[in-house]
A and B are shown apart, each in its own frame.
Chain A
Amino acid sequence: MYFPYFATYMAVGIALAIAAFVWALKNGQFTDQQRARFLPLEDDAGAGEVKRSRMGRLEILALGFLACAGLAASAAVLVFALVSF
C-alpha cells in the first residue's frame, strides 16, 4: 500500500504552499504591485559593456582554428554519411 504515503506527501506539499501563500498575503506581498515592477531596476550596476573584442592575434588564430576544426568535422561527418548512405 503506497497510496497513503503519496497522499500524505501531497497534503504536506499543499499545506506548505498554502502556508507560504498566507504568509505572503499577510506580509503585504500582493500589495504595491506597481512598485514591484520596478524592483530589478533599482540596483543600477554600471556594467562595462563590451564594445569590441580585445583578442590578440594568436588568440584569434587559435580560436578560429578550433571553430573551423569543429565546423569541418561536422561537415566531414555529414559528407561521409551522405556518401555512404
Chain B
Amino acid sequence: MLEIRNLHARIAENGTEIIRGLNLTVNKGEVAAIMGPNGSGKSTLSYVIAGRADYEVTEGDILWNGESILAMDAAERAAKGVFLAFQYPMEIPGVATMEFLKVAMNAQRKARGEEPLKIPEFLKRVKAAAASLSMNMDMLKRPLNVGFSGGEKKRAEILQMKLLEPSLCVLDETDSGLDIDALKIVADGVNALRSPDRAMIVITHYQRLLDHIVPDTVHVLYKGQVIKSGDKSLALTLEKDGYAQITGEAA
C-alpha cells in the first residue's frame, strides 16, 4: 500500500513549494487515476515519489508497504519496486538501449539477491516484451531514447516497466503523444500488469485513456493538494464540466 501523508515538497534550487499538504492512499491491486489542471503538481508528485534529488520534502511522509521511502535514493526506491514512466522520457546519447536494459534488470535482481540474467533469457524477455508492444527490435539498437518519436518514447517506457516488473507504477501522461492504435497497445500492456500485488497511479488529462485503463479511484490534484477523490465516474464528470466547479468548491 502507498500512503502519502501531509506531503510538502519544494524545488531545492529556489525553495518554491509545489506539493502543499498532499494526502493520498493507493492500495495494492488498485489503479488510481490522478487528474488536475496544468501546473497543479502532478509531475512533481511523480518525481517526489521516484526520488528525484531536485526536490526537498519539508513535511509529511511517503510510505510504501509501511516503510518510509524518503531517505532512499531513486535507485533504492526502484529496487523496492517503484517505477516512474516519465511524461518526457530523456534522450541519453551514447548509452545503448539494450545494454541499459540489461544493466537495469540485473541491478534490480542483484538488489533482490537474485542471479544476473543469462544473455539468452534476457534477449527472450526483451523480444517478447517488444513484440507485445509492437516495437521494432531495431529501435533498441539505438542509444537510449535518442531520436525516438514522442510515441516511441512512451512505448519504450512501458517496455521498461514490463521488463522491470515493478510493484508501484506511476505513469505520467503515458497517453500523450500516442496515436489511437498505440494508445490501445500501451493500455493493453498496462492492463496486463494489473495484479493484486501491484499499485498503479495513472496521471492523465483525458478520459480516453481511462476508457482503456479503467481506474478504481480518481483523484483531483490542484495547487499541490488532492482536493477531490471519487470513483471512475468522477473522471466522466470532469470531462463534461471541467475543473472550474471543484476548484471553486475548494477555494
A-B complex is real:
no
